[in-house]
Amino acid sequence: MDKKTFYVTTPIYYPSDKLHIGHSYCTVAADTLAKYKRLRGYDVRFMTGSDEHGQKIERIATSLGITPKEYVDKVVAGIKDLWASLDITYDKFIRTTDEDHVAAVQKIFKTLYDKGDIYKSEYEGWYCTPCESFFTEHQLVDGKCPDCGRDVERVKEESYFFRLSKYQDRLIKYIEDHPEFIQPPSRQTEMIANFLKPGLEDLCVSRTSFSWGIPVTFDPKHVIYVWVDALSNYITALGYGSDNDELFKKYWPADVHIVGKEIVRFHSIIWPAMLMALDLPLPKQIFGHGWLVIDGGKMSKSKGNVVDPKVLIDRYGLDAVRYFLLREIAFGQDGNFTNEALIQRINSDLANDLGNLVSRTVGMIDKYFGGQLPAEHAETEFDADLKSVAADTIVKFEECMDKMLFSDALSALWVLIRRTNKYIDETQPWVLAKNEEDMPKLAGALYNVAESIRIVSIMLQPFMPKCPKAIHKQLNIEGTDLTDWENIRIWGLLPKDLKVEKGPALFPRIDMKKELVELEAAIKAAQAENLANKAKHEAEEEKEEEKASEITIDDFDKVHLVTGEVIASESVKGSKKLLKNTVKVGNEVRTILSGIAKYYTPEEMVGKKVVIVENLAPRKMMGEMSCGMILCAADKDGNLSLITDDKQFESGCDVR
């Protein structure tokens, strides 16, 4: 029989920043779910990737003096490296610069255009480049981006639009009919109240003012809006729109898109509307997790408060970092990251509860039985309760994992771990060991503890890549089917004459006081390095922005400069600054007011061959209409000197 499929995705990451522990949170959660589903026998497809197009990336690359492709290639290698060090077991890493993705997105755009769901118009409004989001005037908060609080830019350009408004009612109905679609429920309420009910506007889906994007095939000066490009990855990565869509047929619709709360809007409104327009089924669920915050604020590179996951992995190991992320913060809510909380969790949950349980059990089997239990066991009065807590834990754990309640799943598991430690205290092996006739009881008790550890280790597997394997090694069951989920409910599968192998401590205890100082210093050092890079980057970006204010030859062509001859000049009544000049430009005569009375008398002006801006809109000054502008050089003190025609040509010559 074919296995049931399970398709889970993370967002695809912008390769604009060095990824921090906040970014890792989402990917670790998705990876844990993927590993869990694999253990439960599903045919899992787990996808992540990089979102490489858009104005933000183009600007960064230009500021670094390299092409966007060169830039993204470099950063994406770093992202993959981080995922490797966190043991992220994705099945495919999609890059939006992949050729097949590009072609498929172009097809999607064309299909929507042919259907009439995309049309050409003009966009005028605001754009937040870091968020790659459009905003109307009234959506801004104090003139800044409502999502990230940074400056927005005015955009006015020809654009294609997607008829998002057309899908508003269908979307509301779909969301209301499918309460599991947007999770947790608070995010669904937010989407309906804040975005859907106030009314959807059509979405601008192409840009012409930069070029780093996927070109619209039938109008190549437009590049496709980066969110349309990015969201499509969830299906293009399965071959949708290519010659081979086997994977798409097998895995779509996705079981869950796991995303951060600030991008739920794109995933639960724009993406489903696009899918509706393409006549494709919608993903079964969008799960919007919360943020890892530091001192109440989002961890972000611009604030300089990011924690580099590699620093933590180097100090405490991968398992501890993954465990902390998913245990400390309830998935769906924001959670504060503190160094104390991390070390506290490592010491109490991992070193004390779990590590200690394993080491004392193996230690006692070693001490009392030379490393191998005798086959003859006797029961104790505490066995039944231990077995029943184990059975209950498995049920609770599965329920929580199916709802992505990772923290609750772990806390259920720790009930069993603590119960097992308590069982050791109740059975008191060190007392049993004193009497020869209690040997079967001692063997039975230690066997039960080992069996409980085996069950615990099976549940730990999705969360921790290393520790369960180390436990299996100590219990001598590495690579056997005793570590499979099917065997989790059967108590007593370990061989009665279990042979154990002592191993190093799973999680060494940390000296909190000393470590806090050292950890703080290590995090600060990494942040300082980040900030130095950021400052360098910003200086380069600033230079780029200055360059961006340069004008093109086409812009320059818009200004018509011609020579003119001043044939009369007089003071302007009531003004000390202005002279009213009558200027002959070819066959035409015009009046031009100039603020040069301090530097030239009317008499000096007459006969001067000057340069004027011919096509400046006329304006009134001191009751007089002025048509054009006479150009002057200004020195550093603001003194003016007329620009004149050296060879004294006839007036009316082009100046260029």
Catalog residues that contact ligand MSP under the rule CB under 6 A: 11-14, 22-23, 25-26, 51, 230-231, 233, 259-260, 262-263, 291-292, 298-299
Compute CA distances 354 → 67, 169, 319, 346, whole Å. Answer: 50, 52, 12, 10
Q: Between 133 and 448, whose beta carbon lies closer to ligand MSP?
A: 133
Shortest Å, Cβ 298 to ligand MSP: 5
Structure tokens at 470: 């180390």
Q: Between 230 and 321, whose beta carbon lies closer to ligand MSP?
A: 230
Contact between 17 and 305 under an 8 Å Cβ cutoff? The reply is no
Shortest Å, Cβ 125 to ligand MSP: 21
How many CB atoms neighbour CB 294 within 10 A? 18
Compute CA distances 74 → 61, 97, 550, whole Å. Answer: 11, 13, 29
- The CB-nearest residue to ligand MSP is 260
Shortest Å, Cβ 231 to ligand MSP: 5
For residue 253, give the nearest of 235, 239, 278, 236 by alpha carbon: 235
Q: What is 215-282 written as a DSSP string?
A: BPTTSTT-EE-HHHHHHTHHHHTTTTTSS--HHHHHHPSPSEEEEEGGGHHIIIIIHHHHHHHTT-PP
Q: Between 184 and 260, whose beta carbon lies closer to ligand MSP?
A: 260
Q: Between 22 and 213, whose beta carbon lies closer to ligand MSP?
A: 22
Shortest Å, Cβ 20 to ligand MSP: 7
Q: Which residues contact 76 (CB under 8 A, 6 or more apart)?
A: 15, 50, 52, 95
Q: Between 229 and 438, whose beta carbon lies closer to ligand MSP?
A: 229
Place of tokens 């924690």: 307
Q: Between 234 and 368, whose beta carbon lies closer to ligand MSP?
A: 234
Contact between 53 and 15 under an 8 Å Cβ cutoff? The reply is no
* Distance, CA of 576 to CA of 529 (rounded, Å): 57
Q: Which residues contact 365 (CB under 8 A, 6 or more apart)?
A: 371, 372, 373, 446, 450, 498, 500
SS3 502: coil
Q: How many residues are recorded in the chain?
A: 656
How many CB atoms neighbour CB 138 within 10 A? 5
Shortest Å, Cβ 149 to ligand MSP: 14
Q: Between 22 and 241, whose beta carbon lies closer to ligand MSP?
A: 22
Q: Between 227 and 397, whose beta carbon lies closer to ligand MSP?
A: 227
